[in-house]
Amino acid sequence: MTLILIRRDGQLLLGLKKRGFGQGRWNGFGGKLNPAETVRQAAVRELQEEVGLSCGKLTLVGRLQFYQPQPPHFLVYVFHGEEVVGEPQESEEMKPQWFDFDSIPLEQMWPDDKHWLPLFLAGKSFRGSFVFDVDDQVISYTLTEVAENVQLDD
């Protein structure tokens, strides 16, 4: 899976999920890969579909593994979208909004975001693993800042 986050002048662009998995939560943009699609291609496609934006540069900054009590488990590649083209547009799936870094609605996001999002906002690269209980609460996690950009194939 992919997740694209965009920072700009002390703000973060998030989307309110309007339907499906994660409905009612603020999140970055992204989703599942289509057959024969690379992770980067999926990120580009999802950003366009969900919010009508394209990026001149996508930098892979994070790799997060999520374990739920029941499968499926998720591996998510986190990208920083840069050189953004266009203005965010609401879609059937997401309602975009810019938030100042000090007013990000963490209480309306996934519980793991509060752990790794500060690293993203600081321009750091990271890897992590999160275990959730049946109520979608984090019961354990590991999170490591990495010195170099995260790789897709490791």
**pLDDT reported for residue 106:** 94
Nearest to 30 by CA among 10, 11, 14, 12: 14
**pLDDT reported for residue 72:** 77
Q: What is the mean pLDDT of residues 25-41?
A: 92
The structural domains of the chain, ordered by start, are: 2-146 (3.90.79.10)
Rounded-to-5 percentages of helix, strand, coil across the chain: 20, 45, 40
Nearest to 76 by CA among 67, 65, 85: 65
pLDDT tens per residue across span 88-139 = 999 999 999 999 999 999 999 999 999 999 999 999 999 999 999 998 899 9
Residue 154: pLDDT band with limits 50, 70, 90:
very low
pLDDT tens per residue across span 42-82 = 999 999 999 999 998 999 999 999 998 887 788 999 999 98
**pLDDT reported for residue 51:** 95
